[in-house]
């Protein structure tokens, strides 16, 4: 998978500023002994010097876990830190809306950096990506004990928030600069990088990505202005796409005889070169002189089967009232909105509205 990323870089799909930056592989996990010394020094600063604490520290650093996890558990011996991390990682607790003071006002640089990383990682795992990014902004990969974890979780959250440039920069640094980064980080990061090369601004996949963000925010009980803005963007773009499809599928009126648009060459024998058709010839019409050859009206061409036309006002109303609609009306509305769409796009829209109903029912 690293080769795939190298190919992307070589092909110029990554911005010039990033591809021209030399890679030194200078980021690596901090040595366990150094990390332990700094974590224990902070415990003494906050008065955690009792025998029970020291016994717990010894057990932590003898265990077979990562250096980052050892630092996390050591710092969590302080009750304030423990509470903040528990609130961040507990999926049953309300999603935090701000980075806690125990991190923001922390004076010990080592503790502040690594608490920001651990807190951001916990929020990223819960899909609370906005606050995860805010926590990770407090520090840098050079300041934490595990730069690979920092860059990976930053990339995940930036990718989820559709911030393509920020996610790409984090991924490139992870793959090029971190020595000994776990293969799972490299693989997932490479997949995200390849995925972002396929993003387009206004296709239905872009709409689906925004839908996922709306669903995620609703699941976190965040139905405020930011979510409403995303919903309006989704509704407006769906309306545009529907109109584009209608215009593309609308039958073109036939041109005059001999016009290339009617698909007939006046000299190919299929129609006379000039003059009205003679009796018995195609298009001569019935004897009473009536002319049924005029094109069908739009209503007749539609056949009464529906065209997938859902105007913006109707879409907005559906989004607002979806959870209160009876199942039969929901299915009918879904059929109208998804008629003629490819299966993968139809599934994205259906999943969006079904998840919207689940979120609204939990309010």
Whole-number average pLDDT of the chain: 77
Q: Map residue 23 onto helix, strand or coil.
A: coil
Six-digit token pair at 169?
């920069």
Residue 327 buriedness (CB in 10 A; 0-12 / 13-18 / 19+): exposed
Give residue-wise pLDDT tens across range 64-115.
999 999 999 999 999 999 999 999 999 888 888 899 999 999 999 999 999 9
CA 184 to chain CA centroid, Å, is 20
Give residue-wise pLDDT tens across range 40-58.
999 999 999 999 999 999 9
Q: Mean pLDDT across the stretch 24-51?
A: 92
> Which one has a higher pLDDT value, 342 or 141?
141
Kindly state the percentage of the chain with pLDDT values over 90.
43
> Which one has a higher pLDDT value, 335 or 178?
178
Give residue-wise pLDDT tens across range 201-251.
777 777 778 788 788 877 777 777 877 877 787 777 777 777 777 777 777
* pLDDT score recorded for residue 361: 64
Residue-wise DSSP of 265-282: -TTSSSS-SSSPPPTTST
* Alpha carbon distance, N-terminus to C-terminus of the chain: 43
* pLDDT at position 271 over 50: no
Using a cut of 0.85, tell me whether the model's pTM lies above it. Answer: no
Q: Mean pLDDT across the stretch 179-193?
A: 91
* pLDDT score recorded for residue 151: 97
Give residue-wise pLDDT tens across range 313-346.
666 677 777 778 888 888 887 777 666 555 655 6
* pLDDT at position 293 over 60: no
* pLDDT score recorded for residue 171: 95
* pLDDT score recorded for residue 14: 44
């Amino acid at each position: 998978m690293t080769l795939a990323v190298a190919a992307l870089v070589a092909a110029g799909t990554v911005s010039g500023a990033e591809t021209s930056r030399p890679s030194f592989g200078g980021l690596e996990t901090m040595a366990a002994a150094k990390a332990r010394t700094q974590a224990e020094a902070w415990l003494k600063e906050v008065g955690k010097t009792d025998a029970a604490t020291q016994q717990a520290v010894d057990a932590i650093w003898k265990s077979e876990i990562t250096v980052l996890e050892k630092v996390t558990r050591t710092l969590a011996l302080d009750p304030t830190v423990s509470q903040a991390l528990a609130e961040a990682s507990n999926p049953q607790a309300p999603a935090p809306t701000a980075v806690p003071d125990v991190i923001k006002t922390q004076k010990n640089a080592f503790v502040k950096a690594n608490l920001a990383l651990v807190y951001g990682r916990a929020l990223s795992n819960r899909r609370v990506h906005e606050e995860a990014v805010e926590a990770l902004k407090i520090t840098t990969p050079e300041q934490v004990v595990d730069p690979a974890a920092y860059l990976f979780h930053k990339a995940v959250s930036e990718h989820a928030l559709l911030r393509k440039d920020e996610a790409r920069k984090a991924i490139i640094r992870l793959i090029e600069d971190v020595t000994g980064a776990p293969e799972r980080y490299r693989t997932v990061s490479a997949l995200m990088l390849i995925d972002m090369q396929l993003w387009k601004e206004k296709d239905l996949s872009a709409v689906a990505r925004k839908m996922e963000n709306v669903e995620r925010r609703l699941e976190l009980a965040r139905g405020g202005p930011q979510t409403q803005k995303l919903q309006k963007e989704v509704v407006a773009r769906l309306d545009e796409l529907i109109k584009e499809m209608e215009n593309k599928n609308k039958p073109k009126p036939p041109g005059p005889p001999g016009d290339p648009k009617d698909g007939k060459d006046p000299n190919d024998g299929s129609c006379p070169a000039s003059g009205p058709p003679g009796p018995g010839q195609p298009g001569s019409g019935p004897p009473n002189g009536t002319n049924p050859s005029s094109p069908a009206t739009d209503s007749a061409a539609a056949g009464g089967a529906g065209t997938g036309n859902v105007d913006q006002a109707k879409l907005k109303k559906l989004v607002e009232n979806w959870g209160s609609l009876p199942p039969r009306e929901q299915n009918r509305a879904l059929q109208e909105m998804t008629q003629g769409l490819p299966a993968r796009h139809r599934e994205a829209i259906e999943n969006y509205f079904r998840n919207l109903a689940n979120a609204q029912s939990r309010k």
